[in-house]
């Protein structure tokens, strides 16, 4: 994940585990697709890959623009002034 070269249309979804990653990713995909739902639930992982699990290759092959999910601490996530970042913070007592 540290060696991923960011692109200007990257949208990083950075969260702690079990704090709404999939839910927020689904909302983001619906916004990007103008409310059109995914054809299959498994499309969520192809259209919004986890950077540290699938690697940079999956992120390069996903539809653009689209979210790239990560559980990396924000300071370890690839940084670019042109990319967009959504950071989800949640009270761990609610998880």
45 as an active site residue: the answer is no
Catalytic residue among 21, 47, 68, 71: 71
Residues near 13 by beta carbon (within 8 Å), at least 6 away in sequence: 21, 24, 25, 28, 48, 67, 68, 69, 70, 86, 88
The residues carrying an active-site annotation are 71
């Amino acid at each position: 994940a540290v060696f991923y070269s960011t692109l200007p249309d990257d949208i990083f979804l950075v969260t702690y585990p079990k704090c709404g990653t999939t839910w927020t990713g689904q909302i983001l995909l619906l916004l990007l697709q103008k409310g059109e739902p995914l054809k299959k639930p498994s499309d969520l992982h192809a259209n919004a890959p986890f950077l540290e699990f699938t690697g940079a290759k999956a992120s390069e092959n996903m539809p653009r623009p689209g979210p790239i999910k990560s559980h990396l601490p924000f300071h370890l996530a690839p940084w670019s002034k042109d990319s967009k970042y959504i950071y989800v913070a949640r009270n761990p007592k609610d998880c």
